[in-house]
A and B are shown apart, each in its own frame.
Chain A
């Protein structure tokens, strides 16, 4: 199989939207004739190509609302349309094959290999074998797993984060316009969660699907969402707006409580690392002779070197004193957590990661995990200071008028 550069997922440009609009019209779901309905007359438009986060306290009906989109639950009354088509006019199994579905922990089938798991829906849609194999390769590559290494592994041979990546790949398998996610990153540790979120954002910036994601974590919602839907009991809309608007102008006390205090801190979640001025760091490729690398590092007055693999993905960050051999070695422990973040990660994530990094900085990666640069602590704090200064200036200007 090929190990060369992956083919782009879509031939269309990055601005093209492959998602479809979802509209809820007066949707109600009651489980019993008496008692209040779980979802009471919900009307909502989810724009094509956006990530909309459903958040709210448990029992607010957010998961019920999500599951009504692919008819895992049928509404008692009201209609839901995807791309203008009533979901109830379609056979539920056909509908579900055209809507990606990702749930907590990936829910991979343990008796199937990674490739078999991803190939499931394309198989149900009777794609031919060659097309399925190619698609599996492409998707594994997209979620940052080397197809040759991971294709034939079983889920239990993967870490939680890797399983979740395969879960996302499986949801994307048949290239559905709409993807539903139910607490997708709930079961992994915070650092892995942050990386998965970053990856989802970079995948989304490539694919422009319509993604509906349920979470109970407001920080996750602020980070991932183009729009956030905050629900109260019985799926009453408390606020449905952009993260910026929800942070700066919460609609009511419920939203204010739910978003919580420290919205200045939370706004760190609105600024992306890509806005930070990145530092050029000395890089080396695995297998390259050590001599020139050391020269470059000294010339740049840097005491460490970022090691990249053949596809320019960072694999290690080493002190130059550790480079004693003939050539730059591959990292010994490949599972070790490298302090790297995606360029779409938030400043909050960057600061978090820096606290555990040995070099007061984090490696920033771009598309498909390729190296972009290093964000230093100074650069991040400088950006925050500048932002605060600008905000204060704006406040003063407003006061003067």
Chain B
């Protein structure tokens, strides 16, 4: 197996990079979307049940099925991967962002208003920093999950390590079938752990000492 990996080291490195790059970009996009939706949901309380419904039902939709539904709309290649990964990535972040933003006490919001902060300033300087630890926790879950979802998204010929897994599955019984599948899987797990570590370090630097546990 070592020989297998060494033979294909450049391809493995390239696919790993693509995989991580896809996940990071999709999670970033998902964070922006999820926080924006959460802000909307917390300011218009009537929307909250809808958001909760979407974020819990969404997670029960099999990713392969969603990918299949997307194909006629967005075709094959990178685009369906981005759409599916972003969709799943947004769900845990949305849920946590709603909880985090709701956790900001009304007293503080009134205090901010009473001091002459407009809604944008209040969001940037009060709501976001206070909800950040919870949002970041959602982001970590989301990143882990997205590493796996991104592998499945490769079914529609997307980028990343998923391609190797499907190659392996397609030639079961063949000479390198196990090698392909196993190498890609281990690489995904290792990369996921590394990303998680990075996010923890990010938390160290971005969560105010006044509210960190």
Contacts and interface: CB of A to CB of B under 8 A. Distances in A.
Interface of A: 70, 72, 92-97, 101, 103-105, 107, 109-113, 120-121, 124, 154-156, 170, 180
12 contacts: A94-B116, A95-B116, A101-B115, A103-B107, A103-B110, A105-B107, A107-B107, A111-B130, A111-B211, A112-B208, A124-B121, A156-B211
B116 A121 contact: yes
B107 A111 contact: no
A111 B129 contact: yes
Contacts of A103: 107, 110-111, 114
B72 to A, nearest CB: 47
B209 interface: yes
Contacts of B174: none
B108 to A, nearest CB: 6
Give the most central of A93, A101, A111: most B CB within 10 Å. A111
Contact of A124 (B115, B126, B129, B211): B115
A93 B114 contact: no
Nearest to A103: B111
Q: Which 10 A-B pairs have the closest CB atoms?
A: A154-B210, A111-B208, A96-B116, A97-B116, A101-B114, A107-B111, A93-B116, A111-B129, A111-B210, A111-B211
Interface string B27-44: 000000000000000000
Contacts of A109: 108, 111-112, 125-126, 130
B118 interface: yes
B117 interface: yes
A121 B111 CA distance: 11
A69 B25 CA distance: 48
Contact of A70 (B114, B117, B208, B209): B114
Contact of A96 (B115, B126, B208): B115
B113 interface: yes
B104 to A, nearest CB: 10
Nearest to A180: B114
Given A72-B110, A121-B115, 4 more contacts: A93-B118, A96-B113, A97-B115, A154-B208
Nearest to A154: B210
A154 B111 contact: no
Interface in B193-213: 208-211
A95 B130 CA distance: 26
A110 B212 CA distance: 10
A93 B112 CA distance: 10
A94 B114 CA distance: 10
Contacts of B111: 101, 103, 107, 109
Give the most central of B111, B121, B126: most A CB within 10 Å. B111
A101 B110 CA distance: 10
Contacts of B126: 109
Contacts of A95: 116
Interface in B56-101: none
Nearest to B119: A93
A72 B111 CA distance: 10
A70 B117 CA distance: 13
A101 to B, nearest CB: 4
Contact of B210 (A92, A96, A113): A113
A86 B112 CA distance: 23
A63 to B, nearest CB: 11
Contacts of A107: 107-108, 110-111
Contacts of A111: 129-130, 208, 210-211
